[in-house]
Amino acid sequence: MNSEIGTAVITGASSGIGAVYADRLAARGYDLVLIARSADKLERVAEQIRAKNGRKIETYPADLTDHLDVARVELLLKSDPDLSILVNNAGLGAVAPLLQSEIDTMSTMISLNVDALTRLSYAAVPQFVARGAGTVINIASIVGITPEQLNGVYGGTKAFVIAFSQSLRQELEGTGVKVQAVLPGATATDFWDASGSSLENLPDSIVMNAGDLVDAAIADLDRGELVSIPALQDAGLWDAYESARRAMFGKLSNKNVAPRYRRAA
């Protein structure tokens, strides 16, 4: 791969949000490496994009719940000198309450949503820092800040993605490396069927088109926004949320118990 502006590696690229990112980044001039479990689906996405703009596209079938496949993708990232964007989009979701969910399924979800995302980020970021440029886009979810919705383990994994992205962004400040977390709400993808539900169960008014979601997230990336919430009209609500969180900094650890716990004289 030798695109003038580099290569974008996208996980979960065989459909939905990942496939849209592939289309949009190719249109911006990036060569692509598309990763997902299904070789056939990946190749269909690749052929559609090649027909539109002629970008160089490699498909790389891999199951990121398998440690050996994760290791293969890590090596791919570490050995590609043209790597410039990593989109960590692959993930599993769940809508059933915790007590109605299989623990092995929950463990697999944690492995993909948390462990694989972390390992791939660690594989890409050092060379980004050495080069002074590069972008990591982590697809989280609104349930990362509203864990009472859907499945609690799923919400927990996406809360990790947000916290990890925030911490990484701060750690890499001044290095030229960009980090963004994208928080989709309900989106018209096959997520719902894979999670044991259906889009038909949701009001049409809350379901966003995947293309609109990605276009908004990329616009936020261009503006330097760490957290992109494409459905949120009043950005001040997120600012207030962050301000309230940051107001507690420096007040959460103390030798003494807070005075409010003292028994009244």
**Residues taking part in catalysis:** 154
Order the strands of the 227-228 sheet from edge to edge.
Answer: 57-61, 31-36, 7-11, 83-88, 134-139, 177-182, 227-228
Instruction: Work out the burial of residue 74: count CB atoms within 10 Å of its CB; fewer than 13 is exposed, 13-18 middle, 19 or more buried.
Output: middle
Alpha-carbon gap, residue 106 to 3, rounded angstroms: 39
- Asked whether 119 and 138 are in contact (CB, 8 A), the reply is no
Q: Three-state SS for 235? A: helix
Q: Which amino acid, residue 181?
A: A
